[in-house]
């Protein structure tokens, strides 16, 4: 019974990733695309978590943390790019 629930959760997370991929490609604005990319990151974290539970291992916990950090940094960088047009600000002191 517990494995069935986990497989259903894995299936629903996969469907959610495909819906977010559609929004990533088709999104009318850049903020919609950034939000879809962020949601894909969260869904991938969910998929890896469910797989970790199904396989009875703690080996994927570092992977979950790494995906979370990369998703956060990617969202921050893309948001800054949308707002200012650049990711790294250079101030010249001539």
The reported pLDDT for the residue numbered 83 is 81
**Residue 57 burial (CB count, 10 A):** 10
pLDDT tens-digit readout, 55-89: 999 989 999 999 999 999 988 888 888 887 776 77
Q: How does the average pLDDT of the chain come out, rounded? A: 88
Q: Are 50 and 9 in contact (CB under 8 A)?
A: yes
The reported pLDDT for the residue numbered 5 is 94
- pLDDT of 29 higher than 70: yes
Q: Give the rounded percent of residues in the chain with a pLDDT score beyond 70.
A: 93
The structure's pTM equals 0.81
Within 8 A by CB and 6+ apart from 43, the residues are: 13, 16, 17, 20
């Amino acid at each position: 019974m517990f494995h069935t629930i986990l497989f259903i959760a894995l299936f629903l997370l996969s469907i959610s990733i495909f819906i977010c991929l559609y929004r990533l490609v088709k999104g009318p604005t850049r903020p919609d695309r950034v939000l879809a990319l962020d949601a894909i990151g969260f869904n991938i974290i969910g998929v890896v978590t469910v797989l970790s539970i199904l396989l009875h291992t703690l080996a994927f916990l570092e992977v979950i943390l790494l995906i979370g950090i990369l998703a956060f940094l990617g969202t921050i960088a893309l948001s800054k790019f949308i707002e200012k047009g650049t990711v790294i600000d250079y101030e010249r002191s001539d």
